[in-house]
Structure 1
Amino acid sequence: MTDETTTQGIPEPEGPVEIIDTEYEIGQDNVEGAVGPFGFDIHNPVFAISGVTIVLFVFYALVFHDQAAAAFGALRPWLTGTFDWFFLTAANIFVLFCLFLVVSPWGGIRLGGKDATPDYSYAGWFAMLFAAGMGIGLMFFGVLEPVYHMAVSQPLGVPSPFAEDGSLIEENVDAARRMGLAATIFHWGLHPWAIYAVVALALALFTFNKGLPLTIRSAFYPIFGERVWGWTGHIIDTLAVFATLFGLATSLGFGAQQANAGLEHVFGVTNSVNVQVILITLITIVALISVLRGLDGGVKVLSEINMVLAAVLLLFVLFVGPTGVILSDFVAGFGTYLTELVPLSNPVGREDSGYVEGWTSFYWAWWVSWSPFVGMFIARVSRGRTVREFIICVLIIPSIVCVLWMAVFGGAAIEQVLSDPENSAVKAQVIDSYNPPISLFAMLEGLPMSAITSTLGIVLVIVFFVTSSDSGSLVIDTITAGGKIDAPVPQRVFWCTFEGAVAIALLLGGGLGALQAMVISTGLPFAFVLLLMCVAILRGLMSEPK
């Protein structure tokens, strides 16, 4: 999601972590790493296996890029066509599980123990949940997705407002308009944030209440016991590394493509894979500088500025664009989302395969792959909250931000398309010739001061890119170092470098399709991990003091 980039890094919780349940202390010594060659904190085989595999993957994709492109091109449609029912079912389970916890007797359990107090005020906590919901994804899909679903993908069989000759079919306009926004909100609302909430709750519960290391394997202690410190835990953490890395690489690839499209639109820079490779390289270097500086204070300042700039761009489009229409679309689209939530979530008997396989399956896999990243961020800032409070706020606050963003940018774009279809740059770039990276700039072209706002859009994408890479390398580093938050800098440099290398390899080895294929292929096995995590959470909550 969101989806979904953490733009603040991962802040330290204030105060010591209290170990509430001593039975979960067993085996912690087994996860301590040892500093090895080049300053790497080698956490059993997790770092070695994941590191070597990623290096070999980059080598394969770069050296045999034609073969890789063909493989990736066939992989994505096979995965989404075969496992679409599984992705939809799993995501539904996560939503229902979260709603169950809200009304369950365990909703009153406090993360950190019954005497724990929140590390952050509501205002600060909400701001950081907001930060977790903002990122490259909203920039890339904010215009593209509502317009495409309105006119092309036809979710739930709602007909397009356009005839084959490009003319408007007036009786189809209202329903298509509402469904375009509702189908987009579906991908950025409750389901993705339920996925994040499951991982975040597991990490917070087993770290703050049980005193276990801040890593994915810790959540499975109630199921596997001491085996989580052996190969069972190694496999879980390694899957988390792969999922996170490819989820990040996909976002970085999207960001590079969009930044390149914006540079071409505003400054005439050639739009090509070579330019995108240069962009990824340069931005990865900037992220590396932040890593070498130690704490990411510089990037944190940039992130705060970036959030202000994102708000400025949002308000500009809202008030300079068709304000009344946008607000009306927000209400109508959100209402349609609520009424169509069950049909959109239905995993069987769907006839809108283009929407389900081409969009929903990919999104659910992407959110699953992002879940260790966003989940770790949310967990670290949520100590002291009750389970009920945690679930409600994690589901609602970021969802509202995402819905508002999509309604403003998508609503403005839809109005441009429907009010003047013959001259709409958005229609030309999204509907007539599918060109996702340029969609945002095509919409801004229809508003005043487009050169300035487009430049602002490029800056937003680039800084989101930098903070994603820097914070992402910290999360992966934490997992491979057995939950340590102070692992050696060289190890974080390694992951930061190879995040960029994987994004480059995938762009050269198949472009957008390759990025999506790998995020689905890593999200699929990790979805099973998350389903099992729900069982572990229940067992962990049941063992809490009454």
Structure 2
Amino acid sequence: MKDSNQEEQRPKTTFSAPVVLPALLGLGALLAFCALYPEQAGRIFPSVQAWVVRQFDWFYTVAVSIFLVFLLLLAVSRFGQIRLGPEDAVPDFTFLSWTAMLFAAGMGIGLMYFGVAEPLQHFLKPPTALGGTPAAAKEALQVTFFHWGFHAWSVYGTMGLVLAYFGFRYNLPLTMRSGLYPILRGRINGPIGHGVDAFALVGTIAGIATTLGYGALQLAAGLHLLTGWNTSTAAFRLGIIVVVVGLAGVSAVSGLDKGVRRLSELNLSLALLLLGFVVITGPTVFLLQALAENVGGYLSSLVDLSLRTFAYEPPREQGWFAGWTILYWAWWISWSPFVGMFIARISRGRTIREFIIGVLLVPTAFNLLWMTAFGNGAIWMDSHVANGALAQTASNVDALLFRFFEYLPATRAASWLAVVLIAIFFVTSADSGAFVVDAIGSRGHPRSPVWQRLFWAMVLGLTAMVLLLSGGLKALQALTLVAALPVTLILLMLCYGLWRGLLADQAHSTQDLAPATSFWSGQHWRRRLEQIVHDSTREDVFRFMQATVLPAMHQVSDELRRRGVLADVQHDLDEGATVRLTIPDPELRDFIYGVRIAHRHLPVFTVQDASEDGRAQVFEPTTFFEDGRQGYDIQYLRMEEVIADILRQYERYRSLSANLRTHLLSRAPGHSEPMS
């Protein structure tokens, strides 16, 4: 009965028209241009991409390094203990399920596609070493680690952390506009916010669809090698996309907790199985030795790699840098709205420190293992077994993984396992992509109808099919990478917004109750309420000090003198507006309980308010002490409560004077230490 009631409460649609309509129109225009004018698209978009890479390679390099440093600083700072959600929130998923979904949505299909290809291509044409040498092999794995390691996941982690923090801590929509809330405030609900989300929606669909197209090509190549079928026809490749999108739709209907989670856990299990197979049947000892040296070389050169721009190198190295590192940074950044939003969606309940450590360390560690096993394994096989045959087919990336398996035992079993794994990664990307795109299009609505996820899965499939048919995959990929430039600027703004949000969060959580509340029993509550809602003027505080504070100090002073303790009350209610009770001590610092009039400006809400000279002020009677401790507002206390506060501070003073550990501060300057 509960389930049926929930279904009845689910709205018919949660589409945000100001986001969805411009995004669909923009996407349709891009697809039409790629389909109707493929030659022009294939010429214009890559040339724009090349210009952006040439002019802004330094910017990408610095920005990605900033993201990594920013996350590390947050992890070790006091902000690391802040929870992504209410303080009593618990994670929605176990650590294993969480990391499995991180892996599957972030880079799973990319590892299958480039796990052999990238290290082997770097081995043949490294950035600085001589190709085909041991030095080239070492450098090949070092730069591969760099491209798939901490920096890549810092991009995803930054976007994911911003979205998760403002989504679960500030209860804002789980979309990119929410990260700009500290900067734009209410304007995130206007045209600027709609534009940011529409831009993210187009970029996400284009990036996922491009990946689906390349995944279809790799699946087709693998099936051709295994079965001999003619998989190069457009009909066969389109059929692959139709099947994958259909399976993704079934998973989307099952929900995030069932569909995506179970597929991700299956992905991770099969990936570990395939990884173990390669390590055990390949050159095991060499791979273990290489892993240790690869990790050591990567970590020891991390700073140099992070900021290297090849400014002093010849054009060949600069071309390598632009064609590999910068394109990777642009690709990770262009994918960050998709992966970051998915990571945010599954990370509710974790602390910022847990989030950063998990996102940076766990996927990076797996990537390093994977690239060593497949990359070093392929290089070793090419040099010791294949006699250069793998190197000759290195440019055929679609089939290279399956060519590698030909030099291992149980070739067909390993190849079929790889096909199944690619297919599941394929489905997971489409499934999680549908969830994310639906979240953007509905402004993070938590109860979108199922048909919307199916609609977006269909949009992803149709986009990929149009690109395959028109040959526009490379053109749209180039446009996606160009879009990474404004996304980088937005990411830097999100970092600033997150920092401001965390400062506000920390100030909010550490704001104590007023000291006056420790004495209040609830009596005279109407008078207390009037004081709270009324901003005190200087005259109000002046009257309070005359009528309440000064008589309280005189009563305490008179009682102390009757008991033989010297005490003195001093006041200056004309200019300085100060009163103080002093109890002198020849051996210790004097006890002083003082009250002065302090003032602060009322909060400003506009730039105009901040620039005006006559900003409104609120005045408060604030305590001060001889030892320099920070004072507090006592304006709500009645006379007997002021007396109680004076005695509380005097009792603290007497306790400290009896504590030998505090004598360095408690004793008056010029007096010798007591004999032990």
TM-score range, shorter chain: 0.7 to 0.9
Which one is further off, 360-369 or 279-288? Answer: 279-288
Contact persistence 2:60–2:330 (CA under 8 A):
yes
Contact persistence 1:58–1:501 (CA under 8 A):
no
Match of 2:29 in 1: 56
Match of 2:130 in 1: 159
Return the alpha-carbon distance in structure 2 between the equivalents of residues 429 and 49 of structure 1: 43
2:40 corresponds to which of 67, 72, 78: 67
Structure 1 346/302 Cα, relative in aligned 2: closer, same or farther at 3 Å?
Answer: closer
1:200 corresponds to which of 155, 160, 168: 160
Q: Give the counterpart letter for 1:54 in structure 2.
A: L
Deviation, 1:315, is 0.6
Return the alpha-carbon distance in structure 1 between the equivalents of residues 113 and 44 of structure 2: 25
Contact persistence 2:330–2:481 (CA under 8 A):
yes
Contact persistence 1:42–1:48 (CA under 8 A):
no
Q: Give the counterpart letter for 2:354 in structure 1.
A: E
Contact persistence 1:95–1:191 (CA under 8 A):
yes
Which one is further off, 457-466 or 333-342? Answer: 333-342
Contact persistence 1:62–1:505 (CA under 8 A):
yes
Structure 1 373/429 Cα, relative in aligned 2: closer, same or farther at 3 Å?
Answer: same
Contact persistence 2:385–2:407 (CA under 8 A):
no
Matched residue SS, 1:485: coil
Gaps of 5+ in 1: 1-33, 162-171
Structure 1 position 116 matched with structure 2 position 89 = yes
Return the alpha-carbon distance in structure 2 between the equivalents of residues 308 and 425 of structure 1: 31
1:537 corresponds to which of 466, 490, 498: 498
Aligned residues: 493
Return the alpha-carbon distance in structure 2 between the equivalents of residues 160 and 188 of structure 1: 21
1:294-373 aligned at under 5 Å gives the runs 297=258, 300-348=261-309, 349=311, 351=313, 352-373=317-338
Structure 1 position 494 matched with structure 2 position 455 = yes
Return the alpha-carbon distance in structure 1 between the equivalents of residues 299 and 473 of structure 2: 31
Structure 1 position 136 matched with structure 2 position 101 = no
Match of 1:229 in 2: 189
Q: Residue by residue, what CA displacement relative to the aligned partner does 1:95-150 show, whole Å, maximum 9, x if unpaired?
A: 11112212323222222244434444444444444444452101000000111112
Structure 1 99/282 Cα, relative in aligned 2: closer, same or farther at 3 Å?
Answer: same
Structure 1 450/373 Cα, relative in aligned 2: closer, same or farther at 3 Å?
Answer: same
Q: Residue by residue, what CA displacement relative to the aligned partner does 1:423-458 show, whole Å, maximum 9, x if unpaired?
A: x4421211xxx1111111111111011112112111
Matched residue SS, 2:393: helix
Return the alpha-carbon distance in structure 2 between the equivalents of residues 41 and 116 of structure 1: 26
Match of 1:439 in 2: 400
Q: Residue by residue, what CA displacement relative to the aligned partner does 1:259-304 show, whole Å, maximum 9, x if unpaired?
A: 1111121112335361333322332233234445666845654443
Q: Give the counterpart letter for 1:405 in structure 2.
A: W
Which one is further off, 313-322 or 368-377? Answer: 368-377
Contact persistence 1:102–1:391 (CA under 8 A):
yes
1:99 corresponds to which of 50, 72, 90: 72
Match of 1:240 in 2: 200
Match of 2:150 in 1: 190
1:498-513 aligned at under 5 Å gives the runs 498-510=459-471, 513=474
Contact persistence 1:203–1:218 (CA under 8 A):
yes
Gaps of 5+ in 2: 1-9, 511-676
Return the alpha-carbon distance in structure 2 between the equivalents of residues 290 and 184 of structure 1: 33
Q: Residue by residue, what CA displacement relative to the aligned partner does 1:19-53 show, whole Å, maximum 9, x if unpaired?
A: xxxxxxxxxxxxxxx97xxx653314101110122
Contact persistence 2:162–2:494 (CA under 8 A):
yes
Return the alpha-carbon distance in structure 1 between the equivalents of residues 391 and 436 of structure 2: 39
Structure 1 126/67 Cα, relative in aligned 2: closer, same or farther at 3 Å?
Answer: closer
TM-score, normalised relative to structure 2? 0.69
Deviation, 1:470, is 1.5
Q: Residue by residue, what CA displacement relative to the aligned partner does 1:196-228 show, whole Å, maximum 9, x if unpaired?
A: 111111112112211112111111110001000
Matched residue SS, 2:85: coil
Structure 1 position 469 matched with structure 2 position 430 = yes
2:363 corresponds to which of 389, 393, 398: 398
Return the alpha-carbon distance in structure 2 between the equivalents of residues 279 and 314 of structure 1: 25
Structure 1 438/123 Cα, relative in aligned 2: closer, same or farther at 3 Å?
Answer: closer
Q: Over aligned residue pairs, what C-alpha RMSD do you find?
A: 2.3
2:61 corresponds to which of 82, 85, 88: 88
Match of 2:392 in 1: 428
Structure 1 position 449 matched with structure 2 position 410 = yes
Contact persistence 2:100–2:267 (CA under 8 A):
no
Return the alpha-carbon distance in structure 1 between the equivalents of residues 123 and 184 of structure 2: 47
Contact persistence 2:81–2:351 (CA under 8 A):
yes
Structure 1 317/294 Cα, relative in aligned 2: closer, same or farther at 3 Å?
Answer: closer
Deviation, 1:160, is 1.1
Structure 1 306/267 Cα, relative in aligned 2: closer, same or farther at 3 Å?
Answer: same
Return the alpha-carbon distance in structure 1 between the equivalents of residues 254 and 75 of structure 2: 41
Match of 1:385 in 2: 350
Structure 1 79/421 Cα, relative in aligned 2: closer, same or farther at 3 Å?
Answer: farther
Q: Give the counterpart letter for 2:130 in structure 1.
A: P
Return the alpha-carbon distance in structure 2 between the equivalents of residues 498 and 256 of structure 1: 16
> Which structure shows the higher helix fraction?
1
Q: Residue by residue, what CA displacement relative to the aligned partner does 1:69-91 show, whole Å, maximum 9, x if unpaired?
A: 33344343333233322222211
Structure ranking higher on relative contact order (CA contacts 8 Å, 6+ apart): 1
Q: Residue by residue, what CA displacement relative to the aligned partner does 1:345-399 show, whole Å, maximum 9, x if unpaired?
A: 2253163223321111221122112222222232233333322232122111111
TM-score, normalised relative to structure 1? 0.85
Deviation, 1:515, is 4.7
Structure 1 309/124 Cα, relative in aligned 2: closer, same or farther at 3 Å?
Answer: closer
Q: Give the counterpart letter for 1:375 in structure 2.
A: G
1:276 corresponds to which of 213, 232, 237: 237
Matched residue SS, 2:183: helix
Return the alpha-carbon distance in structure 1 between the equivalents of residues 16 and 327 of structure 2: 31
Return the alpha-carbon distance in structure 1 between the equivalents of residues 95 and 239 of structure 2: 41
Return the alpha-carbon distance in structure 1 between the equivalents of residues 72 and 473 of structure 2: 35
Structure 1 position 415 matched with structure 2 position 375 = no
Structure 1 position 217 matched with structure 2 position 182 = no
Match of 1:20 in 2: none
Deviation, 1:177, is 1.3
Structure 1 278/81 Cα, relative in aligned 2: closer, same or farther at 3 Å?
Answer: farther
Match of 2:526 in 1: none
2:478 corresponds to which of 503, 507, 517: 517
Deviation, 1:316, is 0.4
Contact persistence 2:252–2:259 (CA under 8 A):
no
Q: Give the counterpart letter for 1:279 in structure 2.
A: I
Matched residue SS, 1:378: helix
Structure 1 195/123 Cα, relative in aligned 2: closer, same or farther at 3 Å?
Answer: same
Match of 2:49 in 1: 76
Return the alpha-carbon distance in structure 2 between the equivalents of residues 271 and 86 of structure 1: 41
